[in-house]
Every structure is written in structure tokens, then in C-alpha cells.
Chain A
């Protein structure tokens, strides 16, 4: 048996060696790659996707990244956001924004049809936007991207002309309209099976995209098959360069790395930093920083010791962020300085280095704040009270975040600042988060438009965990929401970022990246601003 196997492999090995020689002789293989690609081929994409089966198949409803990431194959948007942040036509050929910034009028493409044959027209846009905003839909993110309380309505002006209005100027709308969250389901499905969209499945998740969802096995795989009629890609792309996109749901990170290494998958998303070094040389690793609010600590100024600005500033300066982040994330994730990550349009690089690690400065600030006495265990005291802060964390806590928290706790202990940490089940977390009876909590929030700071820092923001109540900040955030000119908006968010660097309501720690590993079998892979793979120009080598 081994002998015959060797005999079978020998000619193959000889052929491979010969072709390798031939290839290395060619200086530029250039156009040859196109000839090798298989138009009927299959791309296998491994994703984490553990939550998808829990009713997250509809990005119009779900707040999870994975939902928009996979359903992008089915959902097209009105406009496309380019890598530089600008917007180009997609399902809308052209658009106008009214003088006062409250109404967006779109001229739609006339040749677009849904997978079920329904035409894509102004009525379809209205049906989708009205569904997103309908309270019965219980949209966890798309509704607020569509302006939430500021959304006034969508009006059908002609068969292919539609106007979306807001009760006040709403600058982030084009960005929102470029996401899969505001993509379009077939109006027929919304009418007949709208309540099945979140559970999802073939003939339910029907859109206009380059792929049709043809098979769905919850917790296992999604199979997308090429939409042969597709001719309206974001850059005019036609039908996809391969037949099938098979999405394998592999929650365990080492298994995702394994399938890419063994060649069972062509690409894998959500590779943790610790696994990157285990990938072989010939696997391409694309690391794209999430735009938005970096992973941060929120210091609640309305509860305990963080009422004092000096204590907040000392807290931030006492943490050796560089060392901890470098160590825990294997140098794959950059440490963060600002409430916006470096890849977010409007990022202000000037705040970098303004609150660097400095134990002496931290000690001095705490002394100035009156925390001068020390308890037996070295923790600072003032008027018989310990300098202690309570951190509540939402379970499950990933190992890396637990390690980061440990580093932070021990750094702070060195300046006599005690941090206690409770990892809480969702329900218990809400019991403390609701009445805001905590000092510290943590999360990151991805989004391309800096308006996401409004929900975190506006006095009425729904996730203002720091409990900032500052009229000036409110005014700036409202200005950023309504300013028409990009330069004006950037100026506003620059001010807010500089304000936080001093005020320290939020302590940014690091910017996570979406890490994708891909084999040489796929060509033409592109990524959107969130780091999600785009398959419009992808071809796959013949197997």
C-alpha cells in the first residue's frame, strides 16, 4: 500500500517541481492567474459566528458585526463608502442633500431586481426603512443609524426617486446608508415573512446582492450561490467570479486557524492575535483596525471617587498601557490614545502621547486630590475612606481582556489605587448598570461615523456610562450631527477628542483589528472599512 501511494505521488511531485521551476523562470506571471481561476469554483470562508443562530441573521435587527458581515453577500446599499471615507454611487445613481441638511433625495438605478424577481424601486426603499423604524421590528442598531427619533419618513417621489427626511440635520446618514444594516430585503418577503428574517434561511433572506442564500444550517454553515443576473456592484461589478461561497461557522479560534493551514478553507475571519504567529508563511494575513471607539474603560463620574477630575487623570496615567497591550496582543493591536481609533475619519493624532504612563504624575495628582494617607495594605485613604473603584464586566470575559484587567489592577495598586472587579452574568450586570452603581465598566464600539460618540458622551446618550453631563460637549456633539461640511465636522470631533484627553471620562486602551487569514487560492479579496471581506472581485483557483 505505501509503495503504490509513493508511485502515485511521484509523477505528481515531479510535475509540481517542474512547474515550480518553470514559474520561477518567468519574471512576471501577470495575466496567467486569471486563466487558472475557476468560474464554477467554491470559496470556503471560516467565521466565528457563534451567535448567528440566535436570531441574528437580519442586520436590520441585529446589533452584531457578524450579521452584516455575512449578509453583505445578499444585501446591497444605496451608496458605497470608499477606503478614504468618501461616498460613491451604488444602488443610488445620484443623490442630493437639501440646504438645511434634513432631506436626502436619491435617484435609484432602474435595472436592479431582487433574487425573487421583485423590482428594486422607491417603494422598496420605503418599505425597508419603514420596517427598520417600526417599533415592532425591535431593531437594535439599524433604527438608530437611520436617525432614530430624528427620522421623519421616507417619501416616494417617483418610481425611482425617493426622499428620506429627518426632523433635524442628520449628517451621519450617508455613512449609515452605506452599511448592510440599511440594506434592502425584498418587499415581498417583508410583507409575507418579515418575522422570519431574523431566524433566516433560503427564500427568506432575499436581497439584491451578488449571492443568493441557498442553504442554511444553523450553527454550521451558510451556502451562498452566485446571482447570475447581478450587474450593479459598487464599482459596476457584474456576477461574481466564482459559483459558491460556503461560510463555515467555526467558533473555536484554533480550529479556524487549522482549516486555513490545512487548506480546507480558503480564508478565515476573526483570527485572534495569539494565533497569527502559528499561521504558515504562505498564508496572507490582513489586519484591519476597527474604526470607532477603541476598547475603553468608562469612568463613572457620578458615583464614587471619579467625581474628581484629578483622580480620573491619575487613573489613566498610572496604567502602563503600552506594555500591557504589546504583551497581551502580541504586538498585533495598537494601543489607543483617543476616543476615536486611528482609522476613523476625523481622528485627531494630536492627542497621542498627551497622557502617557507616568507613575510620578499619577502619585502627584492623587496627593493633590487629598488622597495622602495610606492604609496598612498601601492603599490610599482620605477621611477614613479607601481609594477604591469597582469595575463591572459583562460575562463572558475573553482571556485577553481578563489579562489586561489584571495588568491594570496591579499597575494601579502601585500608586495606592485599589480596583475591584466583578465579572457579572448579563442580568446581574444590568442590575448595576441600570442604576449606574459602579465606577468602571468596559467595552469598545465599532462604527465609521464619529457621531457614535453622541451615544457615549451626550448627557442624554443611551450608553453614556461615564455619566458625562456637560452642556458644551452636548453642543459640540449636536453640531457634529448637523454640520454639512466634512471639515466642520472634523473640527468638532477634534475638540471632543482633545476634551476627553484632559477630562478623562473614557480611558481608551487598544484598537482591536479584524484579522483575516487567506490562502493563495483566492485572489482579489478586498475589505470594507470595518475589515470585513468583500467578494465582488474575488476569483478562486481551480482545485
Chain B
């Protein structure tokens, strides 16, 4: 039996039954890491010895009948902006290059309790600001399908690690598409849950009203399994919804979408959408129709304003959240300075990379007295309008179908010279964050050079089951052809 062909859910079952040892699962991923990591650079930190120690302890519990967990013995990679106790958490920034958290994020605690083994921390755009993983202070991650291309971002290391078999699943964070877009570019499944469904305690904040932690997995079943573990109410996160209760998401995995109503926003099919992506999305539409779903065009007039609203809100909240990095409490401090204020501004100038500084300046500007009304307040109003527009759509439709990105993964080096162009690429994904709704990215094909294309489904708040059923049903019809 080839362990690498197993999903996380299948592996956990075999570990639980004793057919596979936890150690074997770790050996499998570390052999893949040995083979590919030097070229791909998915990981910032790997804790091999600690992982094998945990494996031994877990195996003993399993062998003596003292452990039951849906992720028993499954090696997982965690994005490097999610705190892991005694495991370095850098946000891929010089600012936090030696930061070691004294606690586990709630999601990490939950994964461990379910039997998953955290093997390391994955590369990302610095403080999750970027769409390519190229703003990392630790070098770019390469796309496992073609190393001349980026894996997407900001959770690029997590998506690439899953695609390359360097872990069985991973956690990412999604503020404007950072789980779904790299999942799409790497040919794996990525979910951004409803705002408030998954605890963010221990996630280093970027834009607090938009950030969500989500799973990146090999298939939709794994996505449901991991979501079951993650979506548990946590009193340490005051933005959690009371609706975050233990839910059997796997019960939604039924290959039946007869009568499901799906909307396709015409506004997404502009000339910027690459023809191969467009035709892949239209193929998805055909498949869904063939399975009995009703697919109709819908009109969303506020999509045009989603990107400006998103970047105003995200940068404003980032400039406030990242004020905590002051050279006093965590990690880096400039070597030479004259007085307190000079220490602050030199530490931040030396500790943050170019894209982070750009966003902090934009945020400081749009929050400043003269511009607050015209930008920040305005953006929050537009967010409200977009939310209302989507609410109205979900009165009639069960889900929205769209691309994840306007093209396939760009080549390394192509995106950073034009930040605005890079921001515009997020148009398909930011709506879900602005509206707080769940959205999933599922592989739906490849371009002529073999690079993956993803399709996105969105649903109303807390309708993760609808989303999973639709994604699962679509996945079944492909029979692993991607």
C-alpha cells in the first residue's frame, strides 16, 4: 500500500485500527520532504524529532486503547502566523524571526487533541500580506506542479506542502483569499469558513474583521473532517459565533445536488479572465447542470467595488494591528537608535518588508483625520451594501459559482513590481471575506502547461454543509481526473 495516496481521513482510520503506525505516516512525509523541500521551500521550521517523540507517545495510547481521534497520527503543517507552543512562529518577517509562542492557538490545540501531529510551520507572505508567497523574508515557495511558478498566497507554503505530499493536510489563514487562491493554484482543496465559526485565538492578526483560519486538504472529505475538529466554540475569541457547535460536516458529503440553485455572477466574467480559466469554469457549470442543479446568471453590481473596499479595510486594520510590533515585546529591535521614538521607527523600518510597509502606510493614511470618512468609513458602508446584495442572492440561490483567480499561478517575479495589479487579482475571493460567508476552492482542471485551475463555491453564512455537499458532488463527478 502506498501511504502517500491516502487522504488524511483514510490515514487516520488506518492508524486508529492499527493497520498503519504513526511512525510510518511521519516517515512517509519526511521522505517526501527529503525529496522535494530543498527545491520547494514550503517550510520555515520543521520539528522532526519532536514529531517522532509525539508519534511514539500517541502510538502507545492507541495500542493500549486509550486514544480515539478523527485525525489520529496525521502529519499536519501549520501556517507560520498561527501560534504553536515552543515552535517558532515568524509570520515570515524579520520582526518575528526568533519569536517562540508560549501557547498553542486554539485550532492547534484542537488538531493535537484529535491526534494530528504538527510537523512544522509553513512559508507565507510576510504577515499574510501578498498573493504569491514572494513577500516572505525567508525566500519564495515554488509551485510543486512547475517550479518556475509561485504557489499563490498568502498561504502558499501550506498549499504547496499538501500538493507535494510534504504533509497530509495544512492550516492556512484567509483574509482576502489566502487559503482559496493558493489551494486553486496548487490543485488542492481550500476552505474559508464563515466568520466566527473557527477560533482565531493565537492567529497573528492582519485585518481582524476579515481574518479566518481554514483547512487546506487533498480532497473535500478531508476538508469536512478537519472542519469538524476546528469549528468548536472558544471563549478566548470574543468574535466567535454561538453557532459554532460540534457539527457532523461529513454527513453533508452526499453526491446529490438535484434541484440545488446556483448563481453565476456575470460581473466576474470580464476580459481579465483568462480563456482557459473561463472555459474550465463553464465546464463546471455543465457538470453541475448535468447533475440536476439549476444554474443561472446573477447580477452583482457591488463586485466592482469589492477590491477598493477590501484594500481600504484590510490595510487600515493592519496598520492598527501591527502597531504592537514596537521592538519591546517580541523579537527584533534595531541596533542603533536615539531615544524611544527613534527606536520604534527604526525597528519597524528594518523589521518589516516592503509590502508590509506599503500597507501600513496606506492604512495610516486612510485612517487619518482628513481621509477617514472618504476611505475607511466609506469602505465599511460599501461592505454593508455588498453584504446586503449577497444576502438577497442567498434568498433565492443555495450557492454562487465563480473562478478563484483570473489565471493560473503566475511566474516567480512577475507579480511584485506592480502591487495594484496584484491586488486586482483578488477580486474573486475578497467578497466572501467582506460578507463573512464561507467559500471553498476545488480543483477543476489544468491549463495546457499542466498548471492547476480552481473553481470557487460560496454559500450563505453557516451553510458550510451546502458548500461541502456541492464541492463533494462536483469532485465525485470528476473521479480524480485532475
Tell me if chain B binds chain A.
no
Chain A residues with CB under 8 Å of chain B are: none
